[in-house]
Structure 1
Amino acid sequence: MSWLRALRETARSGLTVERRRLAPVIAARGALGLALVVGFSLAVFGPAVAASSAFGAFQAAIATFQRSWRPRPTLALASGGSLAVSTFLGYLTGSHLLLFLALLLLWTFLSGLAWAAGPTAGIIASSNVAIMLVTITLPTSVATAAGHAVMIFAGGVVQAALVVLLPVRPWGAQRDALADALAAEADYARRLRHDPVAPFDPVPLMTARSAAAVTPRQARRRPAELHGPRRLAERIRPVLASLADPAVGVPAEGPQRDRVRELLAAAGEVLDAAAHAIRHGEPVRLPPAAVAALRTPDTGTILTDRAHRAALRLIALLGDVVETAEPRTETSPGGADEETGPGGGGEDEGTGPGGGGEGERKGRSAEGTGTGAGDGRAEPRRGPDPSLLGPRTRPTLLRLAPVVLAKMRAEVRPGSAILRHALRVSGVTAAGYLLGLALPFGHGYWAPMTSVMVMRPDFSQTYARSVARFGGTLVGVALATAVVRTAHPGTYLSAGLAVLCAFGMYLLMRTGYAVSQVCVAAYVVFLLGMEGSGVGQTVRDRVLLTLLGGLLAMLGYALYPAWETPRLRGRLADWLTTSGRYAASVAARYADPAGPGSPDVREALLSARAARVAWHDALGLAGHEPVRHRGLSHAAAEGAGHALAEFGRAAMLLEAHLPERGAPPLPAAAGLAEALRKATERGAKAVRERKVPVWDDLRETVAAWDTEVADPLLRKAARLLLAALDELSTALADA
């Protein structure tokens, strides 16, 4: 993509306004917290302290809207506390240019590294630097600076308290994550009716898993119906695939295929009903037609062998989903664990004790592996699956600190995109601060504040946000300044207008960055105008400084980029390696069915999913970058991605029919597992070296497998694995 086209695309993206579900009640709660803080501060301390405390409450509310599974009060307190520390340290050094510049470089560098811990940490850290640049201009002494810091933290405390006292839809985000996973399974079942080899996007399942980690406090308070369905959704997926795929299931046409289509349609309706019940906390209402289709007694006369066992397995799993999705009254939802806006994170769902997870029921379905579905025999379980006992734990915020520091240290290495971002944003922010001081506009913090807020580790977001920030600031500052100069609002009216702008920002922040920046720019103007600060600065001055900050951010990325395009081969190689380990782990289970469960299969599957998501994310980012493909064209990348998706699907078909622990071992599977692991590791090395992988050794193993193994399903699955790798080589040969 050329630079001109890249700039045009990112500008269009930054100025796009999307239609999103709004959350006026949650936005009003954030504005209420801000109003309480501003009103109290004005009445007791005056406008200057009110402005500082308002920034704390404003930023704490924004923190609660981030997509995080942390409790909302925790995010508000963390945001308010870190901003208070930043402001106080900034004031202590603010009167000494070199000292403050050193602090600004250090603080901005650390905020850049904070992206290693995730977007929520990165956004909060970046916002702290930006707001610090404004708030340090308000105090007049060290004592007052300490008071301002206390009031900033108090703003975070107020927002945290309101989340606890005025909960909105408790556990809403976890419910949505779990319901989305079941709805994705339902959609997958319906698509399999028409396309037996339809792809499946694992992101909803991964999101639900992220929501499953709980702190000890949350484990005591979560609703019981959030305990088991996610695990069941994991098990249903391979059963659906094996039932639909003509290569290992029933013929493509005929009475058996018609029966499979009926089962898939019924499964989709049952899963949708369970998803709706979980999302709204209501009893499950099953469609009578779907129930009748699943209970048809002639299934055994139409379907035979593995298809029949898979159908029985599917029916048993769907029964478990319905049972676990029913709301129960023995657990009380926590008031602080809630959804905080469209798409925003809430707390967590888990699979811990006390909720009747599927691992605690007996006689309902066959014992499976951590992710597999067994071979479909509906036998009683021998006991709870160890992988289902106990919640996935999430460390508290204090215990998380060393983990975050370790992640940040791990990024301080050559080639790290996070390190490049940290160096880039710190250099650009310092340059913007110095230029703001040198220019005759006054209040030069608008330039570095813009830079630190728009810069992200990737090209497309940085450029899109720069354009959006400039456009939003132009409109917001113009409107707010016009109001100030024509209406001359007093202190309390300015405070009220600032709260109104904050409400608009909370309400519209998901619709687009440009829209939110209109409200933010107006909020800053009204808030500073509350005590007369910045009133003399013209619209032109503010807009020009904002433009300067955005241009510096864009220039900084152009001069010191971190392109994803050259990394695509590495991402593809990682996906190939992890997929090979997953397939090898599944094959190894056939060689040793009596082994200690299958955590290796589960862990390998999770690693493969993470690598797949990383590949698709990198591919999406690379598509917007103004650089050449450097050895992996768009067509080659698309073909390679399709090939590895097919490889993963073939491995999943094998997993769907994993043998029971008492089944006889298949010694040849050990050789296949080792061949898969070695072949994919060599293939990944070839991909990184821009060579076309060859699979001769694996081809010989699969040929021997065909002669040694009598089971047609296993023979077909091995050939599908090899065919997918051949497709990968073909795609890379055309790169």
Structure 2
Amino acid sequence: MTWLRALWEVVRSGLTIEETRLEPLLALRTAVGVAIVLGPTLWLVSPAYAASAALGAYSAGAATFQRTWRPRKVIALGAGAGLALSTFVGYLAAGRLVTYLPLLAVWAFLAGMAWAVGSTAGIVAATTVGSMLVTVTLPTSAGRALEHAGIIALGGVAQAVLIWLFPIRRWGAHRDALADALAAVADYARRLRHDPTAPFDPEPLMTARDAAAVTPSQARTRPAVLHGPRGLAERIRPVVAALADPDVGAPAEGPGRDRARELLDAAADVLDAAARTIRRGTPAQVPPQTAEILHLDDEHEVLEGPARQAAEQLVELLGEAMEIAGSGGARGKTPTPPGPASAQFLVRPTMFRLLPVVVRAARSELRLDSPVLRHALRLAAVATLGYLIAIRLPLNHGYWAPIASVMVMRPDFHRTYARAVARLAGTLAGVALATAMVRTVGPDAHVFGALAVVSAGLSYTLIRTGYAYSQCFTAAYVVFLLGMGGQAWEQTVPERVVLTLIGGALAMLAYVVFPAWETPRLPGRLADWLAANGRYAAAVLRSYAEPTREHRADLRRALLASRQARAAWQGAYDRARQEPLRPRGLTSREAEEAQKALKGFGRAAMLMESHVPRADGRSFPEAERLAAALEADTAQAADDVREHKTPDWRRVEEALHEWENAAEDRSPVVLRGAELQKRALEDLTTAVSRTPLERDIGSAREEQRVRAAAAAGGDGSGPAHRSG
């Protein structure tokens, strides 16, 4: 993608309204938290203390809207404590540049490394850098600075207390994640009716698994319905795929295919009903005709062989889903079986035990090619440079420039640039709105305080619709706070706009000077996915060779690793398509073909997984050699992909040929699945085995295609990006 096209996509993404469900009750509760600490401190103490209280309450409240599975009150307390600590520590070093700049650089670097844990940690940590930058405006007394830090922490406490007193849809995010997983499998079943080889995106299942990890205290209060249905969705997914597939399931045409479509449609209805039950906590009705369809008549059933086995498994699993749909699932707590907690639940460490996890995650990113490390270095450099620029500007609030930089910077190019554009646009609109209000109501601290609370509530309401729209009211909120402290709007409004522009420009320039492009890393991401898929396929085959509980556990671990590798590839691929770089290693078309091949490879392993024998079932020892061949060839092929060599599948071909010629111990499902995998691997070879000259020509043609599409008004850059 050219720079011009990339910048156009940045502007469009930054100003896009994201379709999401608004949460006005949550926004109202959080805005009340701001009012609770702002009003009394304004009335009883001073506007300066009120501004500090509002800073803590607003930032802690905003942190609770981030995507996290921890209790919101814990996030509010953690954000308030972090803001208070950065404020006080910043003040202790703020007297001299020789002490303040190194502290600011180290703090910003650590905040950037927090992205190793996740986006929520990274975003909340960035707000503490902003708090440290505001420290320079505090009173010149350690005692007074400690008081301000305490007031800021009080804002987080107020938000946590409100969350505790007025819970709104407790476990709602967890219910939504689990319901989305069941609904995704239901949608998959419907698509299989018309396209027996339709792909399945495992992201909803991955999200549901992430949501299922709980701390010991959460495990004691989690509703029982959130404990089991995720595994049900996991088991139904390969069964519906096996039933629909014409090679290992129902025939392509005739009564068998019609019967399979009926069962798939019924499965979708039952899963949707279970999803509604989990989401709403109330029983959902399954149509009576659906139950009739799920009845398998031994005498008149038209499905035979593996298709009949898949149908029987599906009916058994859907029976459990129907029980969930009819139960309502809103009462009771998760039963606590005997044994250690780590064996009962997916354990999430508590906040007090999170430090070793953070250290390990950050240590794994300490390499120069890591996007997280590069982001941390950029953040440290921009925060210190922005501060040096700010103190030399003839403006009262120069710290706004580095704060703007810190808040818009992300580890990738597209989101950094899109947020910079969104912040500038939102600031322009917000200060214009605030200016009109200030000129209308006149200088009144109490009125400004009320307007600040209203602006905070509107910012919270729109926080998930797009950064620009939330930032509009955030900018108004800041102007009202400064007006409450006696700052004239004629002074604050131009400053806010100019400094936001400077901060955004610094953030964008930092990424150009020290980027972390995904495009050159695509071959490595593809290789990781290939190797993980090979281990998953080998684990499936070993479960045929020796159907034991240990091999089942290995299969589950390999499946999760394969999904993580696929998600890492997909994220890198999506980001690479938005970068203004010429393709390196893989052109866009080659990447698409390779991705399609690996999805087909994983789908074939999933089909085989659906018929894995039970622990006491028949074994197929010959599958072990095919498993070893697959694992060895895919591991070697992963190295070949990284080095731009042509993969070779000689061992897989030999093992498959030997098994095909064996007189006994042949599983038709495994053989067919292995043939599909071999075909997918050959397609992968075709996609990545071009010579360097052919690759350069392909890259040039790809650029010409994108430019032609852009000139014609088309996108030419692939699927729409989901900004985060």
Question: TM-score category by the smaller chain?
Answer: over 0.9
Contact 1:109 1:426 in 2 (8 A): yes
Question: 1:705 and 1:392 mapped to 2: Cα distance?
Answer: 39
Residues 569 and 597 of structure 1, relative CA distance in 2, 3 Å threshold: closer
SS of the equivalent of 2:344 reads coil
Aligned CA distance change for structure 1 residues 413 and 310 (closer, same or farther; 3 Å)? same
In structure 1, stretches of 5+ residues that fail to align are 333-351, 361-383
User: Could you tell me how far apart the structure 2 residues matched to 1:644 and 1:323 are?
Assistant: 36
Following the alignment from structure 2 to structure 1, what is the Cα–Cα distance between the partners of residues 257 and 133? 66
Native 8 Å contact 1:437 1:444 kept in 2: yes
Q: Distance in 2 between matches of 1:689 and 1:301?
A: 53
Contact 1:582 1:605 in 2 (8 A): yes
Q: Verify: 1:652 aligned to 2:606, yes or no.
A: yes
- Which letter maps to 2:335? P
Contact 1:53 1:151 in 2 (8 A): yes
**1:542 aligned residue:** 496
**Cα shift at 1:299:** 7.5
In 2, Cα distance between equivalents of 1:520 and 1:269: 44
Aligned with 2:564 (options 585, 605, 610): 610
- From 379, 395, 405, the equivalent of 1:451 is 405
Equivalences for 1:459-474 in 2 at 5 Å?
459-474=413-428
Whether 1:11 and 2:11 are equivalent positions in the alignment is yes
* Distance (Å, rounded) in 2 between the aligned partners of 1:486 and 1:228: 57
In the TM superposition, residue 476 of structure 1 has moved relative to its aligned partner by 1.1
Q: Secondary structure at the match of 2:354?
A: helix
CA contact (8 A) 1:490 1:530 kept: yes
How has the CA–CA distance of structure 1 residues 200 and 67 changed in structure 2, closer, same or farther, with 3 Å as cutoff?
A: same
Q: Distance in 2 between matches of 1:418 and 1:187?
A: 35
1:353 aligns with 335
Counterpart for residue 365 of structure 1? none
SS of corresponding position for 2:137: coil
Identical columns (%) = 55
* Residue identity in the other structure for 2:680: A
- Counterparts of 1:475-624 in structure 2 under 5 Å? 475-533=429-487, 535=489, 537-594=491-548, 596=550, 598-624=552-578
Corresponding position of 1:673: 627
The amino acid of 1:80's aligned partner reads G
Separation in structure 2 between the aligned mates of residue 63 and residue 267 of structure 1, nearest angstrom? 39
Name 1:711's counterpart in structure 2. 667
- The C-alpha deviation readout for 1:10-59, integer Å capped at 9, x for no partner, is 01111112343211111000000100010121122211111001100001
Change (3 A) 1:199 1:388: farther
Partner of 1:408: 362
Counterpart position of 2:328: 327
Task: Give the drift of 1:534.
Answer: 6.5
Name the count of aligned residue pairs: 688
Compared CA separation, residues 728 and 659, structure 1 to 2 (3 A): same
Is 1:726 aligned to 2:682, yes or no?
yes
Letter in 1 for 2:517: W
Match of residue 224 from structure 1 = 224
Q: Is the 8 A contact 1:353 1:390 kept in 2?
A: no
8 Å Cα contact 1:586-1:601 kept in structure 2: yes
- Distance in 2 separating the partners of 1:595 and 1:283: 35
Three-state SS of the structure 2 residue aligned to 1:504 is: helix
1:136, distance to aligned residue in structure 2 (A): 4.0
Letter in 1 for 2:508: M
> How big is each residue's C-alpha offset from its partner over 1:216-255, in whole Å with a ceiling of 9 and x where there is no partner?
1111111111111100110001111111101111210011
Match of 1:342 in 2: none
How far apart are 1:540 and its partner, in Å? 2.6
1:565-621 CA deviation, whole Å, 9 max, x = no partner?
001000000000000000001101111124535110000000000000111111100
- Contact 1:299 1:308 survives alignment (8 Å): no
The residue number in structure 2 matching 1:38 is 38
TM-score by length of 2: 0.92
2:652 is aligned with 1:698? yes
Give the partner amino acid of 1:611: A
Q: Tell me how far 1:483 sits from its aligned partner.
A: 3.0
Question: Is the 2:659–2:666 contact (alpha carbons within 8 Å) kept by the matching residues of 1?
Answer: no
Q: What is the match of residue 277 of structure 1?
A: 277
CA distance in 1 between counterparts of 2:355 and 2:647 reads: 42
CA contact (8 A) 1:259 1:299 kept: no
| Structure 1 residues 482 and 134: alpha-carbon distance in aligned structure 2, compared to 1, 3 A threshold | farther
- C-alpha root-mean-square deviation of aligned residues, in Å? 1.9
Residue of structure 1 equivalent to 2:344? 390
Q: Hey, what's the Cα distance between the residues in 2 that align with 1:697 and 1:219?
A: 47
Q: Give the alignment of 1:61-72 within 5 angstroms.
A: 61-72=61-72
Change (3 A) 1:267 1:92: same
2:615 corresponds to which of 648, 655, 661: 661
**Partners in 2 of 1:556 and 1:518 — Cα distance?**
25
Structure 1 residue 300 displacement after superposition: 5.7
1:375 match: none
How far the C-alpha of 1:354 sits from its partner, in A, is: 4.5
Q: CA separation of 1:225/1:604 partners in 2, compared to 1, >3 Å: closer, same or farther?
A: same
| Structure 1 residues 587 and 485, CA gap change in structure 2 (3 angstroms) | same
- The amino acid across from 2:520 in the alignment is P
Amino acid at match of 1:452: V
How far apart are the structure 2 equivalents of 1:655 and 1:53?
Answer: 56
Unaligned runs of 5+ in 2: 696-724
Higher mean alpha-carbon deviation, 707-716 vs 622-631, is at 707-716
Structure 1 residue 309, shift from structure 2 partner: 1.6
1:663 to 1:404, Cα distance in 2 relative to 1, 3 A: same
